[in-house]
Amino acid sequence: MTRYIIKRILAMIPVLLGISFVIFTIMSLTPGDPALAILGKDATPEALELLREDMGLNEHFLLRYAKYMTNAFRGDFGISYSTRTPVFDEVFSRYPNTLKLSFFSIIFMVVLGIPIGIVSAVKKYSLIDSISMIGALLLTSIPGFWLGLMLILQLSLKYRLLPAIGIDSWKNYIMPCITLGAADLAILVRITRSNMLEIVRQDYIRTARAKGAGKMRVIFKHTLRNAMLPIVTTIGLCFGSLLSGAIIVESVFGMPGVGTMIINAIRAKDTPLVMASVLFFTIIIGLINLIVDIIYAIIDPRVRSSYGG
């Protein structure tokens, strides 16, 4: 198992190299001049040329990439073109906010989605099942930003229950989490329901009932555990979409996360900031996938033996 984890972490290196190269290429090939962005429209051509030389922008693109990667490997992610502060500090002051938002959204999804899915499956075709299926359909069809704005309108402006913007207290996270998690919550409810229904039809569930197991035991001990695999996969996949969804939600709720930072950095052609943000993003997704696979192994002994010991 440990060997498997180490292997997986090492396998992330080529992925990181590939992604960094693609992003670096895009940033270099798209039009726009960082020197111009820093000095403004009124700068003299001499000043611009001097700054370009200074920032190493005149060197060959491959050389610049190589230099960037060597520095990054040593932990030096450069200075942001636009804010003139070290990229590392900038990224690390904002990532925790975004991660917190995504993590709370996941918890919101899991705590609501799995139980609703289970109840729907157990009470198939009942009123409660119909309500949750219609609810799920609605949630998937509503655009996230619209839901966010409606929540602000109702809960903040009209009833003054929750703060509309900022990150000062846990209350600030409630509406963003609902906005961000809504669509994925709907997916999770459906996946849980359909997998529970699929597993209930399996022969070993009949065996469990033939042993004299009661309804609750059959649902939780025998069915849910087997239905968990696709559910865990879905949650892992949702984390990726949550991180990207966070970009919109952060701007709706005025939260200082990576989302707003990446958008501004791209506008300003702030290559070091964009690169570092994307690389962290990749690492986080990679780690989440690894965690999902480890949870797989914990749930399913067949997966465990395929990892070797």
Partner 1 sequence: MKKKILEIKDLYVEYITEDGIVHAVNGLNLELEKGQTLGLVGETGAGKTTTVLSIMKLLPEQIGRITKGTILLDGNNITDLRETEMQKLRGNAVSMIFQDPMTSLNPVLSVGDQIAEVLELHQAELGKKRIDERVDEILDMVGLQKERKVEYPHQFSGGMKQRIVIAMALACEPKLLLADEPTTALDVTIQAQVLEMMNRLKDTFSTSMMLITHDLGVVAQTCDSVAIMYAGRVIEQGTLKDIYTAGRHHPYTIGLFNSIPDLTKDTKRLSPIKGLMPDPINLPNGCAFHPRCPECLDVCRYEMPEESCYGTHKIRCHLYK
CA distance 199 to 15: 36
Per DSSP, 218 falls in state I
Of 10, 210, 216, 308, the residue at the interface with partner 1 (CB under 8 A) is 210
Binders of partner 1 in range 28-87 (CB under 8 A): none
Q: Give the angle subtended at the CA of 48 by the CAs of 42 and 49, to the nearest 5°.
A: 150
The answer to whether the Cα torsion of 307, 285, 151, 162 is positive or negative is positive
* Residue located via tokens 């429209």: 41
Task: Supply the minimum distance, in Å, between the C-beta of residue 215 and partner 1.
Answer: 8
Binders of partner 1 in range 222-281 (CB under 8 A): 222, 225-226
Task: Supply the minimum distance, in Å, between the C-beta of residue 238 and partner 1.
Answer: 23
Task: Supply the minimum distance, in Å, between the C-beta of residue 301 and partner 1.
Answer: 4
CA distance 295 to 303: 10
**Token pair for 194:** 């359909």
**Residue 20 is a binding residue for partner 1 (CB under 8 A):** no
Helix, strand counts (H, E) of the chain: 14, 0
* Residue located via tokens 């090492």: 10
Of 52, 64, 100, 209, the residue at the interface with partner 1 (CB under 8 A) is 209
> What are the Cα distances from residue 131, in Å, to 125, 178, 193, 241, 263?
10, 19, 13, 26, 38
Query: By rule CB under 8 A, what count of residues binds partner 1?
Result: 22
Task: Supply the minimum distance, in Å, between the C-beta of residue 74 and partner 1.
Answer: 45
* Complex with partner 1: residue 71 or 305, whichever CB lies closer: 305
* Complex with partner 1: residue 79 or 213, whichever CB lies closer: 213
Q: φ, ψ for residue 59 (rounded to 5)?
A: -75, 165
Choices 89-97, 203-211, 235-243, 277-285; region in contact with partner 1 by CB under 8 A: 203-211
> What are the Cα distances from residue 65, in Å, to 61, 76, 98?
6, 14, 28
**Residue 211 is a binding residue for partner 1 (CB under 8 A):** yes
Of 203, 216, 308, 309, the residue at the interface with partner 1 (CB under 8 A) is 203
Choices 92-100, 150-158, 210-218, 264-272; region in contact with partner 1 by CB under 8 A: 210-218
* Complex with partner 1: residue 1 or 66, whichever CB lies closer: 1
Sites of contact with partner 1 (CB under 8 A): 202-204, 206-215, 221-222, 225-226, 299-302, 305
